[in-house]
C-alpha cells in the first residue's frame, strides 16, 4: 500500500487512482487541443486558397495539394520565400556561431584566471542580464543608422551575438570542470588558447548546446529588431516577410500562401525542439532563460 504512492523517485506527490484517471482525461484533452492549431496550420498549407475560403474547415485536407509551396518558392506575387529563408538561416547560424565563440572567450578568463577588475567586469555582465534589450532599441537603431548599416546582415547578427547570459552560463559551467585537467595541459606546454579549445570546450558540450539552442530559437524567431532595421525586401527574414505578406494577402484571402510560409518558418524550430527537448527543458528549469 505504501509503495503505491512512490513508485519512481521522480514523483513526489500523487493523487489517488480514480482522480488520476480523471486527471489523465483532462490533460490528454488539453495536450490534444494544444496541438490542434499546429495540425490545422499544416493541413491548411496543403489546401488550395480557394478551398480554404469556400469549403468548410477540416483537419485533414479533402484534396491535398503542394501548389502553395510551389507558389511561395516560384511565382509569388511580390517576393518569393527563398531569399527570406536564406536570410533567416544565415542570420541564425551566424548568430549562434558568434555567440558561442565570443561568449566562451569571455567566460574563460572570468572562470579561470585571477586578474584585477575581474569582479567589476563580472558585475557589469550581470547588469546586462537585467537590462531588457528592447529599451535600447531606439538608440541602437540610431547608432546603426548613423554608420549606414541598416538593411545589412551585420545589423541583424551583431546585437544578438552579444549575450551576457551566454557569458554567465558558460562561466558557471567552466568552473565545474576540474582544474587538474587544465594544469596537465598547461604543463604539456599548451597556451591558454589551446587549453580552452582542446580541454575546456570539448568538456562543455552540454552547456554550449544549451546556449546554442536558445540562441538559435531567439534569433530565428526574432521579430521586433528586424522589423525596425529592415526596409528592403531582399534583406528581410521570415518573420518580417510574413508580416508583410499578411498585410498584402489576407485581405484577398490568399490564406494558402500565408500558411505555407508559416509552416516553412516553423519547421526548423519545431525540429530543434523535438531533437533537443531535454536541453530545452533543462535550460529553462535551471536558468529561467526565455526563448
Partner 1 sequence: METNTGRVTIIKKKITPFLFLLPFLSFYLVMQLFPLVQNFHVSFTEWDMMSSNKPFVGLDNFKYLFFTDPFFWVSIKATLLYIVLNVPSKIVIGLALAVALNQGLWGKTFHRTAIFLPFVINSAVVGLLFGWMLDPQSGMLNYFFKKFGLPPQQWLVQPDWTMEIVVLVTIWWSIAFNTIVYLAGLQGIPEELYDAAKIDGCTSWQSFWHVTLPGLRDTTMFVVIMQVIGSFQAFGNIWLLTHGGPVNATRVLMIHLYRVGFYFFRMGQAAAIAVIIFIIVLILTLIMLSMFRKTELKN
> What residues numbered 160-199 form the site for partner 1, per CB under 8 A?
161-162, 164, 167, 192
Residue whose grid cell is 586578474? 115
Cα–Cα distance for residue pair 50/38, rounded to 1 Å:
21
C-alpha separations of 267 from 68, 91, 221, 224, 274 in Å: 16, 16, 12, 21, 11
- What minimum distance in Å lies between the beta carbon of 141 and partner 1? 8
- What minimum distance in Å lies between the beta carbon of 35 and partner 1? 5
- Residue 131 binds partner 1, judged by CB under 8 A: yes
Report the site for partner 1 in 37-76 (rule: CB under 8 A).
37-38, 40-41, 44, 52-53, 56-57
Which of 44, 68, 67 has its CA nearest to residue 56? Answer: 44
Cα–Cα distance for residue pair 208/163, rounded to 1 Å:
13
* Closer residue to partner 1, CB minimum distance, 70 or 138: 138
**Polymer length of the chain:** 291
Pick the piece of the chain touching partner 1 (CB under 8 A) from 35-43, 72-80, 176-184, 197-205. Answer: 35-43
Pick from 89, 90, 150, 158 the residue near partner 1 by CB under 8 A.
158
CB atoms within 10 A of CB 49: 21
Letters for 223-262 (x = contact with partner 1 by CB under 8 A, - = none) are xx---x---------xxx-xx--x---x--x-x--xx--x
* Closer residue to partner 1, CB minimum distance, 175 or 223: 223
Is the dihedral angle over the CA atoms 265, 270, 276, 279 positive or is it negative?
Answer: positive
Letters for 83-112 (x = contact with partner 1 by CB under 8 A, - = none) are -------------------xx-xx-xxx--
Strands (E), 139-270: none
Which of 176, 163, 162, 166 has its CA nearest to residue 111? Answer: 176
Pick the piece of the chain touching partner 1 (CB under 8 A) from 61-69, 74-82, 159-167, 200-208. Answer: 159-167
Amino acid at each position: 500500500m505504501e509503495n503505491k504512492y512512490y513508485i519512481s523517485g521522480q514523483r513526489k506527490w500523487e493523487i489517488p487512482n480514480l482522480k488520476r484517471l480523471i486527471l489523465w482525461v483532462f490533460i490528454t484533452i488539453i495536450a490534444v487541443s494544444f496541438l490542434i492549431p499546429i495540425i490545422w496550420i499544416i493541413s491548411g498549407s496543403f489546401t488550395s486558397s480557394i478551398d480554404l475560403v469556400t469549403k468548410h474547415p477540416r483537419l485533414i485536407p479533402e484534396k491535398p495539394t503542394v501548389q502553395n509551396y510551389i507558389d511561395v518558392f516560384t511565382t509569388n506575387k511580390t517576393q518569393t520565400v527563398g531569399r527570406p529563408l536564406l536570410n533567416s538561416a544565415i542570420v541564425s547560424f551566424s548568430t549562434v556561431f558568434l555567440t558561442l565563440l565570443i561568449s566562451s572567450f569571455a567566460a574563460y578568463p572570468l572562470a579561470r584566471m585571477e586578474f584585477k577588475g575581474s569582479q567589476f567586469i563580472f558585475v557589469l555582465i550581470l547588469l546586462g542580464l537585467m537590462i531588457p534589450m528592447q529599451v535600447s532599441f531606439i538608440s541602437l537603431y540610431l547608432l546603426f543608422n548613423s554608420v549606414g548599416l541598416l538593411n545589412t546582415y551585420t545589423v541583424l547578427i551583431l546585437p544578438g551575438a552579444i549575450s551576457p547570459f551566454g557569458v554567465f552560463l558558460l562561466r558557471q559551467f567552466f568552473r565545474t570542470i576540474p582544474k587538474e585537467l587544465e594544469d596537465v595541459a598547461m604543463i604539456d606546454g599548451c597556451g591558454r588558447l589551446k587549453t580552452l579549445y582542446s580541454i575546456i570546450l570539448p568538456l562543455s558540450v552540454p552547456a554550449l548546446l544549451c546556449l546554442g539552442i536558445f540562441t538559435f530559437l531567439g534569433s530565428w524567431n526574432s521579430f521586433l529588431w528586424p522589423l525596425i532595421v529592415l526596409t528592403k525586401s531582399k534583406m528581410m527574414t521570415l518573420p518580417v516577410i510574413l508580416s508583410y505578406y499578411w498585410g498584402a494577402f489576407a485581405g484577398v484571402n490568399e490564406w494558402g500562401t500565408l500558411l505555407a510560409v508559416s509552416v516553412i518558418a516553423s519547421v526548423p524550430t519545431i525540429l530543434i525542439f523535438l531533437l533537443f527537448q531535454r536541453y530545452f527543458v533543462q535550460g529553462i528549469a535551471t536558468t529561467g532563460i526565455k526563448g
